[in-house]
Amino acid sequence: MIPFRTDLRFSCNLIAGSYLGRSYQTVLNYPELWRSGDNNKLNEKYIFMTICQELSTEIHCWKISRVLHLKKARFSHLNSIMVWANGMSVCARFLVWLLLLCMFIRKVVPEDNIITTKKGRVRGTNLQVLGGTVTAFLGIPYGKPPVGRLRFQKPEPFESWSGIWNATKHANSCYQLIDTTYPGFPGTEMWNPKTNLSEDCLYLNVWIPSPKPKNATVMVWIYGGGFETGSTSLPVYDGKFLARVERVIVVSMNYRTGALGFLALPGNKEVPGNAGLFDQRLALQWVQENIASFGGNPKSVTIFGESAGSASVSYHILSPKSHPLFTRAIMQSGSATAPWAAITASEARRRTVALAKQLQCPTSNETELILCLQDKEPKDILENEVYVVNYFSLLHIYFCPTVDGDFLVDMPETLIENGVFKQTQILVGVNKDEGTSFLVYGVPGFSKDSDSLINKTQFEVALTLSFPQVSQLAIESIIFQYTDWENEQKPEHYRDAMDDVIGDYHIICPVMEFAKKIAEVGNNVFFYFFEHRSSKLPWPEWMGVMHGYEIEFVFGLPLERRVNYTKAEEILSRSMLRYWASFAKTGNPNGTLINGTRWPVFTSTEQKYLTLNTDASEVLTKLRAQQCRFWNIFFPKVLEMTGNIDEAEREWKAGFHRWNNYMSDWKNQFNDYTSKRERCAGTN
């Protein structure tokens, strides 16, 4: 019996490959079910229903049974085969019956989960989502593995393949350092990649609703992670709910981060810089070329992202060669104009040379430097990034976008000031407590395991650490701006002030400024302020509505009842799904009004925005206006003034040193003269 089952399993694989493999396995494991009680007759009904289960929907099984019923009498050759098969052994009859069933299945069941792309066919997997079906294509290659001599270079399109690419699980995540600050803590582990790390990581994912749409709007997600980490494999980025509820096609791509994605020797074609941004652009080009095959409309593509992903979205807005690849943009808590999001070409070059020195690579010859770095282990490169700056980096960002003369022809502030950006609609916003998540990563006095109540002295130390290259006068100006002089003795005051300082400086004010510049020239801008703290948030209460924790609501995680979000959170998530998708489809989030509140257009003068929370949404104006005026206008002037003072002080000290040396020499010479005169007088 055992040899027979083995041979039959092999025969089944020859007949139908792996398409119905799991059903075959079920049948083969229980041979007693092959036969009914009627003279050992083949139990066709059982085998039929077992294989049908693999097709996932009752309608497909009904189609097959209906066809078998109608066609059996009409095909004389089929009747002959059936009669002939009755004289065979159970083994042979099962094999013949299985072959016939597979033939019918191939003809009757449309293979919606197999799509033909420009490079080859891909097979997805059907997911049961909220009472419907979504087909997910996970791990489709869009770029050649950037390994060996392709490391640090612009990506090249993936080559064609034969056969069917099995796109049923997430591919490798791009090589990065894993966050081990709080081992085992859900609040950090949720952001760590869920797949193997590799430089072979240029893959994308597509979620399409069922039945397959025609000309559906496409939403392309770009993950954050400070240009240092990130992966599409995170459950919080699962596109199935958005695709199912709003019937849009959701796409996400892996892109290179850290030195592997943003190392730069501007002007050198071997290491041009911004490789991670070019990865994103190549994925957007893939969407233009292939998304129609998935039922998507290449002329209706909205890019959206969070944090560094949001900054990436704004880079595509600022880069003319990206403009034809998308229609609209959504920016969540990040902008290219943020102080962490860009460095000059000279600074990028300095950091590359510093990394090379740290890894004992030659630096006098660029070709030798590049070859040396290309031969280093990725782990060694990433672990030594921290040494490229000689100060504490609060956001731990060491390599990021730079001016390369290609993707980015000038610094973001200059480009946006000169109007060099795509004229389109944007939906943009921030969270209430953007700063807290950064404070627990190295600022003294702050921890996830305490209330982080700090005093004034600790506040000053935290500011000095967070702004390492500014003068004491600049630090004093921040203290003055953010001290609540009526409540300065309250223990939580300085903790909350530190949250506001970091959140305003790094996230809220740069995003506000970007939105104002886009709106100034007449583009429709819609601004939100996310105020809800998730009931599932594992971080302590004092950290509030943290950076990144609107994402689960944008992707619809609260809609899955077994996860135990509150009903109010499910309603909030559904409203955000509708806002985001309506904007992607039409350029206006006001599809169906939520709670009767209409989301107004944000203008550079009125600056109206919508609050998003589990209570009734409100329309307010001029978010953090005073604080942002401080950061955008006053603080730069303080830096300029104190920079001049510092230079003058250095010059004065140098002059004083020269004068002091001169006076010392003069005094020595005078004393020598006096001594000689006294000796001469003594001899007379």
User: Tokens for 590?
Assistant: 């006001």
Query: Which residues does 654 contact at the CB level (< 8 Å), separation at least 6?
Result: none
In 10 A of CB 345, how many CB atoms? 18
Residue pair 58/65 in contact (Cβ under 8 Å)? The answer is no
Q: Which pairing describes strands 114-116 and 121-123: parallel, antiparallel, or unpaired?
A: antiparallel
Q: Which of 248, 240, 263 is nearest to 217 (CA)?
A: 248
C-alpha closest to that of 221 among 344, 109, 330: 330
Burial string for 232-253 (b: 16+ CB within 10 Å, else e) reads: bbbeebbbbbbbbbbbbbbbbb
Continuous segment of H or E residues that includes residue 684: none
Q: Please report where in the chains the tokens 């992707």 appear, as a residue.
A: 555
Say if residue 18 is exposed, middle or buried (CB neighbours under 10 Å; 0-12, 13-18, 19+): exposed
Residue 97 and residue 44: Cα distance in Å, rounded?
A: 8
The residues with which 157 forms a beta bridge, in sequence order, are: 143
Please answer whether residues 240 and 202 qualify as being in contact, where contact means their C-beta atoms are separated by less than 8 angstroms.
no
How far is the CA of 141 from the CAs of 32, 75, 543, in angstroms?
44, 44, 39
* Per-residue CA distances from 627 to 283, 431, 477, 634 (Å): 38, 16, 12, 10
Which residue in 23, 252, 300, 307 is the catalytic one?
Answer: 307
The answer to whether residue 307 is catalytic is yes
The C-alpha R_g of the chain, in whole angstroms, comes to 32
Are 379 and 371 in contact by the 8 Å Cβ rule? The answer is: no
**Residue 11 appears among annotated catalytic residues:** no
Grouping H, G, I as helix, E, B as strand and the rest as coil, residue 609 is strand
> 551: which residues sit within 8 A by CB, 6+ positions away?
236, 237, 306, 332
Spatial contact of 240 and 270, defined as CB atoms under 8 Å apart: no
Residues ≥6 apart with Cβ < 8 Å to 127 = 133, 134, 135, 136, 240
- Find, among 306, 307, 331, 301, the residue nearest to 318 by Cα: 331
Q: Name the active-site residue from 210, 385, 547, 570.
A: 547
Burial of 17 (C-beta count, 10 Å sphere; 0-12/13-18/19+): exposed
State the catalytic residue, choosing from 246, 366, 434, 550: 434
Answer whether 324's CB lies under 8 Å from 331's CB: no
Cα separation, 476 vs 460, in Å, equals 8
Half-sphere exposure (Cβ direction) of 181: Cα atoms closer than 13 Å: 18
Q: For residue 173, which of 149, 205, 148 has the smallest C-alpha distance?
A: 205
94 burial type by CB count under 10 A (0-12 exposed, 13-18 middle, 19+ buried): buried
The structure tokens listed for 263 are: 């190392």
Nearest Cα neighbor of 389 from 441, 359, 339, 354 is 354
Coil/strand/helix, residue 21: helix
* Tokens coding 236: 């919080």
Transcribe 288-311 into DSSP letters: HHHGGGGTEEEEEEEEEEETHHHH
For residues 51 and 108, is the Cβ–Cβ distance under 8 A? no
**Partners of 527 in beta bridges:** 428
- Catalytic residue numbers read 307, 434, 547
